[in-house]
Amino acid sequence: QVQLVESGGGLVQAGGSLRLSCAASGGTFSNYAMGWFRQAPGKEREFLATISGSGGRTVYADSVKGRFTISRDNAKNTVYVQMTSLKPEDTAIYYCAANKWYGAMRWNTYDYWGQGTQVTVSS
């Protein structure tokens, strides 16, 4: 059983940056691909990015490509997403998730989820 805890959310002005962290425990972290998702009120959970267990491969959603960067530190059992050029439409609850298989973009294929962290971008 893998436990995930996100942190780093908050209020930021449009054009600003935030880095979210997701600390994992309870499993062999490098065995899991990790993903970041977000969900805004009234909308479906949206895939943002995923990274392989080794950190060598990544996939991004078009909506965040070039603005968000996913990374991981397996020694710290932590995955990050660096978010830049934030827009009001990036406002959402951000979740990290773990998957035994790399490359998945559908939220219902992920095995473990964090509780989420709120990101609010003001205009």
pLDDT of 60-81, one tens digit each? 999 999 999 999 999 999 999 9
Report residue 48 as tokens.
Answer: 């943002």
Report strand pairing: 92-99 vs 117-122: antiparallel
pLDDT of 69-123, one tens digit each? 999 999 999 999 999 999 999 999 999 999 999 989 999 999 999 999 999 999 9
The answer to whether 68 and 83 have CB atoms below 8 angstroms apart is yes
Residue linked to tokens 């035994």 = 100
Please name the amino acid found at residue 117. T
Across-strand partners of 47? 37
Cβ partners under 8 Å of residue 105, min gap 6: 35, 47, 50, 59, 61
